[in-house]
Structure 1
Amino acid sequence: MKTIIVNGTVVDTEPRPQVVPDAAVVVEDGVIVSVGPQPDDLAKGTEIIDARGGIVLPGFVDTHRHVWQSVLRGIAADATLSAYLDLVLGALTPAFRAEDVYAANLWGAIEALDAGVTTVYDWSHIQLTPGHTDAAVAALRESGVRAVFGYAHRGTGDADRAEDEVRRVRSALLPSDDGLVTPALAAWGPVYGSVEAARADWALARDLGLRISLHATGAGPVERLHDAGLLGPDVLFVHCNGIPDESLKLVAGSGGTASVAPAVESQMGHGHPETGRLRSSGIATGLGVDTVTDVPGDMFSVMRAAFAAGRAGQAAPELTASDVLGMATIEGAAAIGMDHRIGSLRPGKQADIVILDAGAPGLAPVHDPVAAVVTAAGTATVDTVLVGGRIVKRGGRLVSVDVDRARDLAVRAARHVTTQARTTSAR
């Protein structure tokens, strides 16, 4: 099957975001074949997508999101980090049934696709039972999103480790690294657990060929991993607020990467988002929504939060709109180890593509397409989305899933979880 996107303003992101003049994007069997002049000979059965008046660019890459929290939207808008942990992980998490996780992951993945996020790293710490895990993976698959399923043990204590479950996920649920949903280990690391548990998790992940992601802020986590010989190019550090300069040098020297969630970090009080310090240290840095319990679930909001924070004050190196769009695409793909497959429109990569309506109110007129995407576009301007060449959104409407059914499931799950949590707390 061949698809050709014509007449749009094409923005590629590799090596840096730039407009490709007079370009058509040719896709065959889910892979980008060429970005350049429109072919004269159109094979029979070729689908033409007319992107006239649109901006064509790679799909956004969300490097850190707790997708299962989609049914808790806005529930912790005023919360600090500690209050969020008490409410969401302490009170609400135990109320989730497997069917609630299915509904939440399906709805969260649909939200991502609707906003042009074609790849999401799902840092999933809702593994209360194997059934919860199966439900989370099934929903991601059903949605059609490209996802990294980061399995996190059911709790932060050493006794909560479930090595057999990680092996089951790898062998039975997600044995391939070539599918739309691929596995990783979301580790509590030496932040919440012991160094000994971290050693065991790192050994397990590396034995199974899984990349590792962990939350890390301030002094301590990087140093402990370094002392234990666990740093490496397969480790993704999330947040990184307040990490000392010497620690950043250790991460950079190991080839490690980072994910910043600027909206959540600013709102919950983690500290100033560290995009500038990370990138100036030579660390590939992606952007993440993190949690919709207190911020929007689209990459446009995240890009604007990163852009504003990166240019605030004299201490932070200045970011450009081009830098920010890169972090939301190709650099984010590099941060999660997938830049060989996604993140740009380079031929040979998966056809994860977004078309924005550049004539929409609030976006037109467009003088600089890169700046327009970062500073003015929004979910309402996302006209068409392809994942692996498959159209999942067309004409501003999702076409690959039953949105009404998914919404109904999400509403019912939210009602059950919040009611059950209130009932439990009243006892």
Structure 2
Amino acid sequence: MTVYLLKGGIVATWTKENQARAFKADVLVEGTTITQVAADIAAPPGAEVIDCTNKWITPGFVDTHRHTWMTIMRANQCDWLLSEYFVKQSWSTQTAVTAAQVRIGEFAGCLEALHSGVTTLLDHFHAANTPEIAEACLAAAKESGARVVWCPARQSPATQVLPHLAFAQEADSARWQLAKLREWGAHGNKLTPDGRVTLGLAYDIGDVGDEKAHQEFIAVARAIPVAAITAHVVKGPRILTYRDRGLLGPDVVLSHCTELDDHQAPDDEMWAALKQSGTAISSTPEDEMGMAHGNPIAFEAVERGVKCSLGVDATSINSGDMFTQMRMALQFYRARQHHKVHVEKLTPPAHNKFVSADAFRLATLGGAEALGLAGLIGTVEVGKLADLLVFDAMSANLAGAADPFRGVVFHASNADIEAVLVDGEFVKRDGRLTKVEWAPVAAELKLRADELRAQFPEDKLEKLWSDYGKLNGDTVDKWVE
């Protein structure tokens, strides 16, 4: 059993008493677990003592909505609208990806997450076109060293885009995906012996398939039981649709939920359904504001006592770190409140209602709560799994910062993360990934990404988008709802 003593650092964490605390302490990690958090801990025999003077020790970040495999398409899609994304990506490029492309996208994406301090991620894997592709994605997640709630999606690839959208493989896809779900979950939701990778289910109820099939998948998933069920919610009233089909519950994470922006009443039926059922929200503010999903509602959820967390979403479009998401969520809420004060001529507040520590909570303990893992991760406390970050507080970004919460949320980047531990194992140390040499991964990622770009050049995708619009008008909007 490996034993590490993180000595002399500043611990910044939320606590089981729901308080934000920053204090000087040593952290003892024995095996996978934090066993002591106190001042001047004596090093046990055989322990490696790690000098954390001028370092901040925090819990790892928890990302509750990430399409990790899409790292293979990085920077291809940053300027697209959501409707454009459906035509150019979901119904075209995504249907043609290979197992090799998905594998390296997933592997590189998980490593990127670890490099940026994301120790746990809910991976909404929505390119399970074949069993081979699904298994390649899962193998990459296992190999990466990240803590992954792996959620293969119940959906089939589009078989035709023009002149009209078609899903001719739906029956076959439903058949093999249900069989694989049963196979993966035959012995519970652990997909690795240590439980670092667990099985979930991504399930977007749409206009494809029938009600019997919908109910069967949910029943099988909950009988396992899967670690989490996740689904997209943008426009609606999809939250009520999910409620009426029995999908809501404490095992469910709904991404975006931007339809709630139009439902501001505290006792609104949709907000009430989420709170009463214990369903969690994953807000992805960078993606939501850029792609016309609607407005982020993270802090509105906090105000109403609805479980909420943060996510990156598609790594082909957005930054892969949680720093961006924390900043955008907090500043968007503040901007909206300031605008309301101005427009309604209200008395200006003396202070901002939500502060940096609140955003930090969304990215750590909030994510753990959303995934039902708050008893295991999300804070730096005795008995928790050792999913930890060590920040260099003397870096160019942080040397002038005294408060770790403000420093992490507003000034830090992944360059400031000196070390990352998952399950007490170093997956990044001295600023470098430890599980694998990055250069060969980068070379393969570039090779496979170039393959896809050659197969789907921008002019080809733009013509598809233009032709689809001419034939179908704005009917693509129904797929956003």
The TM-score, its normalising length taken from structure 2, stands at 0.84
Q: Distance in 2 between matches of 1:385 and 1:257?
A: 26
Displacement, 1:177? 8.3
Partner of 1:30: 32
Partner of 1:146: 147
Residue among 414, 422, 426 paired with 2:449: 414
Q: 8 Å contact 2:72–2:102 — kept in the other structure?
A: no
Q: 8 Å contact 2:22–2:404 — kept in the other structure?
A: no
Partner of 1:39: 41
Bigger radius of gyration: 2
1:223 partner amino acid? L
Q: Secondary structure at the match of 1:23?
A: strand
Displacement, 1:366? 1.5
Change beyond 3 A, Cα 1:376–1:193: farther
1:304 partner amino acid? R
Which stretches in structure 2 are left out of the alignment for 5+ residues? 158-166, 342-351, 465-481
Partner of 1:277: 300
Question: Which shows bigger deviation, 42-51 or 329-338?
Answer: 42-51
Q: Distance in 2 between matches of 1:335 and 1:307?
A: 19
1:357 partner amino acid? D
Question: Which shows bigger deviation, 194-203 or 76-85?
Answer: 194-203
Residue among 171, 176, 180 paired with 2:186: 171
Displacement, 1:194? 5.2
Residue among 272, 294, 298 paired with 1:249: 272
Q: Secondary structure at the match of 2:258?
A: coil
Note the alpha carbon deviations across 1:82-107, whole angstroms, 9 max, x for none.
11122221221122111111101110
Q: 8 Å contact 2:233–2:259 — kept in the other structure?
A: no
Q: 8 Å contact 1:199–1:230 — kept in the other structure?
A: no
Is structure 2 residue 275 aligned with structure 1 residue 259?
no
Displacement, 1:227? 2.1
Change beyond 3 A, Cα 1:291–1:230: closer
Q: Distance in 2 between matches of 1:375 and 1:194?
A: 47
Partner of 1:206: 222
Displacement, 1:174? 4.5
Partner of 1:345: 380
2:330 partner amino acid? F
Partner of 1:366: 401
Partner of 1:397: 432
Q: 8 Å contact 2:386–2:423 — kept in the other structure?
A: yes
Q: Distance in 2 between matches of 1:104 and 1:164?
A: 25
Partner of 1:240: 257
Q: 8 Å contact 2:251–2:279 — kept in the other structure?
A: yes
Note the alpha carbon deviations across 1:389-414, whole angstroms, 9 max, x for none.
11111111112212112111211111
Change beyond 3 A, Cα 1:203–1:190: farther
Q: What number of residue pairs does the alignment pair up?
A: 426
The TM-score, its normalising length taken from structure 1, stands at 0.94
Q: Secondary structure at the match of 1:302?
A: helix
Q: Distance in 2 between matches of 1:176 and 1:139?
A: 12
Which stretches in structure 1 are left out of the alignment for 5+ residues? none
Change beyond 3 A, Cα 1:394–1:175: closer
Q: Secondary structure at the match of 2:397?
A: coil
Residue among 320, 334, 338 paired with 2:369: 334
Change beyond 3 A, Cα 1:93–1:278: same
Is structure 2 residue 342 aligned with structure 1 residue 319?
no
Displacement, 1:417? 1.9
Q: Secondary structure at the match of 1:189?
A: coil
Q: Secondary structure at the match of 1:401?
A: coil
Displacement, 1:364? 1.8
Q: Secondary structure at the match of 2:103?
A: helix
Is structure 2 residue 423 aligned with structure 1 residue 388?
yes
